[in-house]
């Protein structure tokens, strides 16, 4: 179950543990059964709810410094960290029971895969790490 506010113009949903969701007044608090249902209705995940967002807040200074030194831009959107370098595009997500970071690279051509990618249009890299900078 995920929550959203009918009073807000932003189409943002919140997970049950979110501090922002707890502040939504009862008369404005509505819900979707799943995050997927919310996304289909045009909503995106709150940055505070995102596991990647939580990790990013802990590493924000190091990430900003790394991006500035290397000409990289990054931003958090719908539970994913978007990373754009001068030559390619990446996404970082948290997945699995161990809550490890997974790195995905933008596909440059269409490739048939037996198992669809978790991040549409991107393919998984063989990198698993505990820190964003890692």
> Whose CA is closest to 131, among 90, 91, 101?
101
User: What are phi and psi for residue 82, nearest 5 degrees?
Assistant: -90, 130
State the chain's mean pLDDT as an integer.
88
- pLDDT above 90 coverage of the chain, percent: 53
* pLDDT tens by residue, 64-78: 999 999 999 999 998
Q: What are residue 91's DSSP bridge partners? A: 82, 104
User: Token digits for 49?
Assistant: 């709810």
First to last CA, the chain: 32
For the cut 90, the answer to whether the pLDDT of residue 108 exceeds it is: no
For the cut 70, the answer to whether the pLDDT of residue 90 exceeds it is: yes
């Amino acid at each position: 179950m995920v929550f959203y506010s009918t009073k807000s113009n932003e189409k943002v949903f919140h997970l049950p543990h979110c501090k922002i969701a707890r502040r939504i007044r009862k008369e404005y608090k509505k819900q979707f059964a799943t995050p997927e249902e919310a996304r289909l209705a045009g909503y995106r995940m709150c940055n505070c709810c995102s596991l990647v967002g939580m990790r990013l807040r802990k590493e924000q200074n190091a990430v900003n410094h790394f991006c500035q030194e290397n000409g990289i831009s990054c931003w958090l959107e719908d539970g994913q960290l978007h990373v754009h370098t001068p030559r390619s595009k990446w996404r970082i997500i948290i997945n699995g029971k161990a809550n490890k970071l997974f790195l995905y690279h933008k596909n440059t051509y269409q490739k048939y895969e037996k198992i669809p990618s978790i991040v549409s249009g991107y393919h998984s890299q063989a990198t698993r790490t505990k820190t964003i900078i890692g």
